[in-house]
């Protein structure tokens, strides 16, 4: 009788973890698509053109890319309305498989949430998914620039008192992976969107990811295949 052996891949040893939310800890795709499909319809856009731009970015940055001639003030105003709408629309928001176990495994290790959501939306979606909110949070209010700018990850590392190159970031989107790499972190891509991206490593879900205290200090990150 043949048995399937588990192969373990070591990502490395790090001082801290920087965690994206949507698509990484929380599956909010249904809510995101509802909100942005309505936005696309209101602006006479093909939703298939809008969706690839949405993931990972703040709403105003998505609008700026899709409507390059529109004043930023109008993007910011409309983004505030969308954020309020998203905060109340959490139907279908669930955890990414393995997220509860993963967050429990890193509770005593330095980690920060680095999300393009504002604080209210982050709380609403983490609560809807039944997930623990990290104590350190870098949200939309914390930064001037949206992912793919590295500002959020740089601020997350600074808030934890570590260098960004001594961090591993978890991300699912092209904008997020680009931002984390630009900050100097190594990146584990999570889920199908990240499979073709240039992350350091990739997992289908958080069920494959293991984080344990390293004897030499910090956290050892491995992947079970």
Domain count for the chain: 2
Catalytic choice (20, 29, 89, 172): 20
Contacts 24+ apart (CB under 8 A), 43-46: 43/67
Q: What's the pTM value of the predicted model, to 2 decimals? A: 0.93
Residues 117 and 197 in one domain: yes
Q: Is 46 a catalytic residue?
A: no
Residues 46 and 106 in one domain: no
Residues 106 and 210 in one domain: yes
Query: b/e string for 40-57 if b means 16 or more Cβ within 10 A?
Result: beeeeeeeeebbebbbbb
Residues 114 and 127 in one domain: yes
Is position 149 within any domain? Answer: yes
Per-residue pLDDT in tens (0 to 9) along the chain, 225 residues: 455 567 789 999 999 999 999 999 999 999 999 999 999 999 999 999 999 899 999 999 999 999 999 999 999 999 999 999 999 999 999 999 999 999 999 999 999 999 999 999 999 999 999 999 999 999 999 999 999 999 999 999 999 999 999 999 999 999 999 999 999 999 999 999 999 999 999 999 999 999 999 988 889 999 998
Residues 108 and 128 in one domain: yes
Q: Is 69 a catalytic residue?
A: no
CA distance 148 to 134: 22
| CATH for 112 | 3.40.50.1000
Is position 54 within any domain? Answer: yes
- Segments forming the whole domain that contains residue 106: 8-28+93-224
């Amino acid at each position: 009788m043949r048995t399937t052996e588990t192969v373990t891949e070591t990502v490395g040893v790090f001082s801290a973890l920087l965690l994206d939310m949507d698509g990484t800890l929380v599956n909010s795709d249904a809510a995101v698509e509802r909100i942005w499909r309505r936005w696309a319809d209101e602006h006479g856009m093909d939703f298939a053109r809008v969706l690839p731009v949405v993931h990972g970015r703040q709403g105003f940055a998505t609008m700026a890319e899709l409507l390059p001639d529109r004043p930023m003030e109008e993007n910011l105003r409309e983004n505030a309305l969308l954020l309020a709408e998203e905060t109340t629309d959490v139907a279908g928001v669930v955890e990414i498989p393995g997220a509860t176990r993963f967050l429990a495994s890193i509770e005593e290790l330095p980690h920060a949430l680095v999300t393009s959501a504002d604080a209210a939306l982050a709380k609403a979606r983490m609560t809807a998914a039944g997930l623990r909110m990290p104590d350190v949070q870098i949200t939309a209010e914390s930064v001037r620039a949206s992912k793919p700018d590295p500002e959020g990850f740089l601020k997350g590392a600074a808030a934890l008192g570590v260098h960004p190159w001594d961090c591993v970031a978890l991300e699912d989107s092209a904008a997020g992976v680009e931002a984390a790499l630009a900050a100097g972190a190594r990146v584990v891509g999570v889920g199908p969107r990240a499979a073709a991206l240039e992350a350091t490593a990739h997992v289908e879900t958080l069920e494959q990811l293991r984080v344990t205290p390293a004897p030499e200090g910090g956290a050892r990150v491995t992947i079970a295949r």
